[in-house]
Amino acid sequence: MNGSETKPVWLDTYNFAFLDEGSKREIRRKTLKAVAIPGYQVPFASREMPIARGWGTGGLQLTLALIGRGDRLKVIDQGSDDSVNAVSIRRLVENTTGIETTVDTAAATLIQTRHRIPEQPLRAGQILVLQVPLPEPLRLIEPREEVTRRQHAEMDYSAMWLALYEDIVRWGDITVGHSYPCLAHGRYLFSPSPIPRWDIPKLHQAACLYLFGAGREKRIYAIPPYTDVQPLSFDDYPFAVERLAGACCRLCGSTSTFLYEIDDAASGQKLYQCSDTAYCQQRRQERGQA
Amino acid sequence: MMNQAGRAIAAVSAINEEQPLLAVSGLGKRYGPGCPACLDLQGQRCPQCGSLWACYDISFDLYPGEILGLVGESGSGKSTLLRCLYFEEEATTGIMTIPSYQGGPANLLAASAQQQRYIRNHMMGMVFQNPWLGLRMHVSGGGNIAEKLLAAGVYHVGRIRTRAAELWRQVEMPLPRLDEYPQNFSGGMQQRVQIAKALANKPPLLLLDEVTTGLDLSVQARVLDLVRQIQRELGVAMLLVSHDLAVIRMLADRTMVMHQGRLVEQGLTDQVLEDPEHPYTQLLVRSLL
Amino acid sequence: MGRGGCYKDRQAGSHCYEGMGIPVTALPGGSKGRDKKEEEAILSLESVTKSFHLTLTRTIELYALRDLSFTVGRGEFLGITGPSGAGKSSLLKCIYRTYRPTCGHIWYESARYGSVDLACAPERQIIHLRAGEIGYVSQFLKVIPRVAAVDVVAERLIPGGYSWPEARRKAIELLTRLHIPPELWDACPATFSGGEQQRVNLARAFITRPRLLLLDEPTASLDSAMKGHVIEIIKEIKKNGTTMVGIFHDREVMDRVADNVLELNIVKGCSGSKAEGRAAGREAAPWPQ
The DSSP bridge partners found for residue A196 are A178
Query: In this structure, are A119 and A225 located in the same domain?
Result: yes
Give percent of chain B above pLDDT 90. Answer: 57
Element (DSSP H or E) covering residue A29:
helix A21-36
Domain-located, residue A146? no
Query: In this structure, are A53 and A189 located in the same domain?
Result: yes
Q: Which residues contact residue C253 at a Cβ distance below 8 angstroms, ignoring those fewer than 6 apart?
A: C219, C227, C231
pLDDT at C22: 31
Q: What are phi and psi of A36, to 5 degrees?
A: -70, -30
Choosing from A59, A68, A252, A268, the catalytic residue is A252
Q: The complex's ipTM?
A: 0.83
- The predicted model scores a pTM of 0.81
Q: pLDDT band at residue B114, thresholds of 50, 70 and 90?
A: confident
- The minimum CA-CA distance between B158 and chain A, rounded to whole Å, is 7
Choosing from A39, A56, A59, A79, the catalytic residue is A39
Query: In this structure, are A137 and A277 located in the same domain?
Result: no
Query: In this structure, are A225 and A249 located in the same domain?
Result: no
β pairing state of B67-71 and A270-274: unpaired
Range B137-160 average pLDDT: 94
Query: pLDDT tens for residues B48-92?
Result: 888 888 898 999 999 999 999 999 888 889 999 999 999 999 999
Domain-located, residue A2? no
Residue A138: Cβ-neighbour burial (10 angstroms; 0-12, 13-18, 19+): buried
Q: How far apart are CA B18 and CA C128, in angstroms?
A: 11
pLDDT at C67: 87
pLDDT at A6: 61
Q: Which one-letter amino acid corresponds to residue A60?
A: L
Partner residue opposite C98 with nearest CB, options B1, B274, B279: B274
pLDDT at C284: 32
pLDDT at C12: 36
Subunit contact B14:C114, Cβ cutoff 8 A: yes
Contact exists between B and A (3 or more beta carbon pairs < 8 Å): yes
For residue A141, list chain B residues with Cβ-Cβ distance below 8 A: none
Subunit contact B157:A158, Cβ cutoff 8 A: no
Q: How far apart are CA C283 and CA C271, in angstroms?
A: 7
For residue C39, list chain B residues with Cβ-Cβ distance below 8 A: none
Residue A256: Cβ-neighbour burial (10 angstroms; 0-12, 13-18, 19+): exposed
Residue C3: Cβ-neighbour burial (10 angstroms; 0-12, 13-18, 19+): middle
Q: How far apart are CA B160 and CA B182, in angstroms?
A: 18
Angle between the B141-151 and B113-122 helix axes, to the nearest 10 degrees? 130
For residue A43, the Cα-to-chain-centroid distance in whole angstroms is 18
Domain-located, residue A147? no
A249 catalytic, yes or no?
A: no
Range B117-137 average pLDDT: 92
Subunit contact B232:C112, Cβ cutoff 8 A: no
Domain-located, residue A156? no
- C75: helix, coil or strand? coil
Query: In this structure, are A181 and A273 located in the same domain?
Result: no
| Residue from C6, C102, C4 nearest C62 by CA | C102
A39 catalytic, yes or no?
A: yes
Query: In this structure, are A90 and A191 located in the same domain?
Result: yes
What does B119-149 look like in DSSP terms, one character per residue? Answer: HHHHTEEEE-SSHHHHS-TTS-HHHHHHHHH
- The minimum CA-CA distance between B282 and chain C, rounded to whole Å, is 7
Q: How far apart are CA B109 and CA B86, in angstroms?
A: 9
In chain B, whose CA is at the least distance from the CA of C34? B1
β pairing state of C60-73 and C41-54: antiparallel
Query: In this structure, are A64 and A24 located in the same domain?
Result: yes
Q: pLDDT band at residue B167, thresholds of 50, 70 and 90?
A: very high
Beta strands across the sheet bearing A188-190: A188-190, A182-184, A229-231
Angle between the B217-234 and B187-199 helix axes, to the nearest 10 degrees? 10
In chain B, whose CA is at the least distance from the CA of A154? B114
Burial B202-240 (b: 16+ CB within 10 A, else e): ebbbbbbbbbbbebeeebbbbbbbbbbebbeeeebbbbb
Question: What is the 8-class DSSP label of residue C26?
Answer: G
pLDDT beyond 90 at B218: no
* A153 or B50: which leads in pLDDT: A153
Q: How far apart are CA C31 and CA C25, in angstroms?
A: 8
Q: pLDDT band at residue C266, thresholds of 50, 70 and 90?
A: low
Query: pLDDT tens for residues C132-169?
Result: 899 998 877 877 778 899 999 998 888 878 888 999 99
pLDDT at B42: 67
Choosing from A58, A68, A248, A253, the catalytic residue is A248
- Asked if A118 and A150 touch (Cβ cutoff 8 Å), the reply is no
- Asked if C110 and C116 touch (Cβ cutoff 8 Å), the reply is yes
* B219 or C26: which leads in pLDDT: B219
Q: pLDDT band at residue C275, thresholds of 50, 70 and 90?
A: very low
For residue A237, the Cα-to-chain-centroid distance in whole angstroms is 26
Q: Which residues contact residue A262 at a Cβ distance below 8 angstroms, ignoring those fewer than 6 apart?
A: A250, A270, A271, A272, A273
A159 touches chain B (CB under 8 A): yes
Q: How many CB atoms lie within 10 A of CB A245?
A: 4
Q: Which one-letter amino acid corresponds to residue C271?
A: S
* C-alpha separations of A212 from A33, A187, A203, C289 in Å: 13, 17, 12, 83
Query: pLDDT tens for residues C162-198?
Result: 888 999 999 999 899 888 899 999 998 888 887 788 8
Range of the domain at A254: 243-290
Q: Chain A to chain B, count of Cβ pairs less than 8 Å apart?
A: 45
pLDDT at C23: 31
* C-alpha separations of C217 from A189, B238, C257 in Å: 70, 35, 13
Residue B106: Cβ-neighbour burial (10 angstroms; 0-12, 13-18, 19+): middle
pLDDT at C14: 33
Burial A76-94 (b: 16+ CB within 10 A, else e): bbbbbbebebbebbbebbb
Subunit contact C117:B250, Cβ cutoff 8 A: no
Query: In this structure, are A70 and A197 located in the same domain?
Result: yes
Q: How far apart are CA A255 and CA A242, in angstroms?
A: 12
A248 catalytic, yes or no?
A: yes
For residue C123, list chain B residues with Cβ-Cβ distance below 8 A: 254, 266-268
Q: How many CB atoms lie within 10 A of CB B162?
A: 11
Domain-located, residue A223? yes
Question: What is the 8-class DSSP label of residue B111?
Answer: S
Beta strands across the sheet bearing C114-117: C60-73, C41-54, C103-110, C114-117
Please state which of the ranges A121-130, A192-201, A238-247 shows the lowest mean pLDDT: A238-247
Range A46-68 average pLDDT: 94
* C-alpha separations of C62 from A15, B273, C47, C266 in Å: 96, 17, 17, 13
- C152: helix, coil or strand? helix
Dihedral sign computed on CA atoms, order B147, B153, B154, B157: positive
pLDDT at C19: 30
The DSSP bridge partners found for residue B50 are none
For residue B6, list chain C residues with Cβ-Cβ distance below 8 A: 115
Contact exists between B and C (3 or more beta carbon pairs < 8 Å): yes
Q: How far apart are CA A206 and CA A192, in angstroms?
A: 14
CATH number of A78's domain: 3.40.50.11310
In chain C, whose CA is at the least distance from the CA of B267? C123
Distance spanning both ends of chain B, measured CA to CA:
44
Range B1-7 average pLDDT: 45
pLDDT at A245: 81
Q: Which residues contact residue B1 at a Cβ distance below 8 angstroms, ignoring those fewer than 6 apart?
A: C25, C35, C38
Q: pLDDT band at residue C267, thresholds of 50, 70 and 90?
A: low
A173 touches chain B (CB under 8 A): no
For residue A6, the Cα-to-chain-centroid distance in whole angstroms is 32
Q: How far apart are CA B7 and CA A274, in angstroms?
A: 89
pLDDT beyond 50 at C269: no
- The minimum CA-CA distance between A79 and chain B, rounded to whole Å, is 34
* B140 or B4: which leads in pLDDT: B140
- A126: helix, coil or strand? coil
Domain-located, residue A161? no
A68 catalytic, yes or no?
A: no
- The minimum CA-CA distance between B192 and chain A, rounded to whole Å, is 20
Give percent of chain A above pLDDT 90. Answer: 77
Range C34-44 average pLDDT: 66
Subunit contact B282:C112, Cβ cutoff 8 A: no
In chain B, whose CA is at the least distance from the CA of C115? B7
Q: Indicate which of C115, C118, C134, C139 best probes the interface with B, i.e. most B CBs within 10 Å of its own CB.
A: C115
Q: How many CB atoms lie within 10 A of CB B138?
A: 10
Q: How far apart are CA C4 and CA C190, in angstroms?
A: 40
- Asked if C103 and C48 touch (Cβ cutoff 8 Å), the reply is yes
Subunit contact C155:B254, Cβ cutoff 8 A: no
Query: In this structure, are A108 and A58 located in the same domain?
Result: yes
Domain termination site, one of A231, A253, A273? A231
| Residue from C40, C49, C43, C38 nearest C16 by CA | C49
Domain-located, residue A109? yes
Write down which chains contact chain B via at least 3 CB pairs under 8 A: A, C
Residues of B with CB under 8 A from a CB of A: 113-114, 117, 136, 139-140, 142-143, 146-147, 150-151, 155-158, 160, 179
Q: Which residues contact residue C182 at a Cβ distance below 8 angstroms, ignoring those fewer than 6 apart?
A: C176
| Residue from B91, B92, B111, B88 nearest B101 by CA | B111
Domains: count for chain A: 2
Query: pLDDT tens for residues A2-48?
Result: 445 566 667 778 899 999 999 999 999 999 999 999 999 999 999 99
Domain-located, residue A157? no
Write down which chains contact chain C via at least 3 CB pairs under 8 A: B
pLDDT at C8: 34
Query: In this structure, are A226 and A249 located in the same domain?
Result: no
Subunit contact B155:A162, Cβ cutoff 8 A: no
Partner residue opposite B143 with nearest CB, options A156, A162, A235: A162
Query: pLDDT tens for residues C3-23?
Result: 333 333 333 333 333 333 333
Query: In this structure, are A95 and A197 located in the same domain?
Result: yes
What does C233-286 look like in DSSP terms, one character per residue? Answer: HHHHHHHTT-EEEEE-S-HHHHHHH-SEEEEE-TTSSEEEESSTTTT---PPPP
Query: In this structure, are A283 and A213 located in the same domain?
Result: no
